[in-house]
Amino acid sequence: MTLRLEPLTSQWLARVVEIENAGQLQPWTRTQFRQAFEDERAILWGAFEDDALVAYALLYRLPFDAELQAIAVIPEVRRRGIAQALLERLVAEANCWNNERLLLEVRASNQAAYKLYEKQGFKLDGRRRGYYRDLDGRWEDALLMSRRLATAGAS
């Protein structure tokens, strides 16, 4: 199958919500995604296999940094490099915006994502203790990570 990445418009709202609900313990709501589609500081990128949207990533432009706010791949196509391709696209986007860093946070238990982020040059900056709540009511730490971008320090 051929992977294609492209910016998403609000016509993909329902499918993005489906993907989010299929893969996240605490999924974003439809309203949160609708607001992201309407926010000029945000861009959603989609990954398509053939014509099927199988993953998305949400990037926000901040004054000096960009932040990966959400990323999800449907379970059936994980471990095929789709999240890595989306992440590389977001790094390029943040570089085009002339951001200094790309920020993200990840559940401490999500070791597959953590390893992907490390492989892509992200460094651990800190930890938010008890940030996420799991389905059993237990609290889990969020790991804060960042990556310096190519435009950092450029004039």
- The set of catalytic residues is 105, 117
Residue 52 buriedness (CB in 10 A; 0-12 / 13-18 / 19+): exposed
Radius of gyration (Cα) for the chain, nearest Å? 15
Q: Please, what is the angle between helix 13-23 and helix 30-38, to 10°?
A: 130
Ranges of beta strands (E only) in 9-49 are 42-49
* Neighbouring C-alpha atoms within 13 Å toward the C-beta of 151: 15
Reduced to 3 states (helix: H, G, I; strand: E, B; else coil), residue 107 is strand
Quote the CA–CA distance of 102 and 87 in Å, as a whole number.
10
